[in-house]
């Protein structure tokens, strides 16, 4: 189930801190942990996915960002990986679905009119949700797309054929407005990873998303 809070991992953290943040967030009830490692080799990324999956311990979905090959490699060695979240420049989601199978979770980044059009013509069952943003500017994705704001997100979500997860600089105070605007859930990086108490921050975000729904 993809509804609710997604934690996107921050590769700027040291490994011990990262795993502690993931474990705390999983304990607080996040729906999914998206493992992002844009600067890692395939071997490093696969090892990180294994470590994060162990920290999650079945309490949330584990989704690999961008790399279907890493998701498949981790599964091959017995790691629980539930699916992938793909960007527009990554493997075609139709191909990803074929490789990962019908039970995998597949998310797809979308933020422009052409992405919305492409989502409308996807074969049914290809993608489970769209990751839509940026809601606000964010330091974790300096090269990100233009900022939509809450209203822009809401317009996109209402026009989309799939559930939409809001991402990009999302903070606790934003969650009720985003959920009211049509969000299926929210995805955060620094709102949890930079918090003094990541577990408490995650719990507050989970409660806000659940209550708003």
Asked whether residue 88 is marked as a ligand-binding residue, the answer is no
The contacts of residue 107 (CB under 8 Å, 6+ apart) are: 2, 34, 63, 83, 84, 85, 86, 127, 128, 129, 130, 131, 165
Residue in 7, 4, 77, 80 with CA at minimum distance from that of residue 42 = 77
Residue 140, marked binder: yes
- Name which of 105, 209, 212, 213 is nearest 162 in CA terms: 105
109 is in an annotated binding site: yes
Residue 198 and residue 149 in contact, taking contact as beta carbons nearer than 8 Å: no
- Residue 35, annotated as binding a ligand: yes
Binding site annotation covers 66? yes
Residue 117 vs residues 65, 85, 128: alpha-carbon distances, Å = 22, 19, 16
| Residue 31, token pair as written in the block | 């729906």
Question: Is 169 annotated in some ligand binding site?
Answer: yes
Coil vs helix vs strand at 150: helix
43 annotated as ligand-binding:
no
Does 36 count as an annotated binding residue?
A: yes
Tell me whether residue 197 is annotated as binding. no
Q: Is 59 flagged in the annotation as binding?
A: no
90 labeled part of a ligand binding site? yes
68 is in an annotated binding site: no
- Kindly report the length of the chain: 213
Does 79 belong to an annotated binding site? Answer: no
Positions at the binding site for Mg(2+): 66, 90
Positions at the binding site: 34-38, 65-66, 90, 109, 138-141, 169, 189-190
């Amino acid at each position: 189930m993809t509804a609710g809070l997604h934690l996107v991992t921050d590769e700027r953290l040291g490994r011990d801190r990262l795993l502690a943040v993931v474990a705390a967030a999983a304990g607080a009830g996040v729906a999914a942990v998206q493992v992002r490692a844009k600067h890692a080799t395939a071997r490093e990324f696969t090892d990180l996915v294994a470590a994060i999956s162990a920290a999650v311990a079945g309490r949330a979905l584990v989704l690999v960002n961008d790399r279907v090959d890493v998701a498949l490699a981790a599964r091959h060695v017995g790691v629980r990986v539930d699916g992938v979240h793909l960007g527009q420049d990554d493997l075609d989601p139709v191909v990803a679905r074929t490789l990962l199978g019908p039970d995998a979770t597949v998310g797809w980044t979308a933020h422009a009119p052409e992405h919305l059009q492409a989502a409308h013509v996807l074969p049914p069952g290809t993608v489970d949700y769209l990751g839509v943003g940026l809601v606000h500017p964010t330091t974790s994705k300096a090269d990100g797309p233009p900022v939509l704001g809450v209203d822009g997100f809401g317009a996109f979500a209402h026009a989309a054929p799939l559930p939409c997860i809001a991402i990009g600089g999302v903070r606790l105070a934003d969650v009720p407005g985003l959920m009211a605007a049509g969000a299926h859930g929210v995805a955060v990086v620094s709102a949890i990873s930079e918090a003094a108490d990541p577990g408490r921050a995650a719990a507050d975000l989970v409660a806000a998303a659940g209550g708003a729904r």
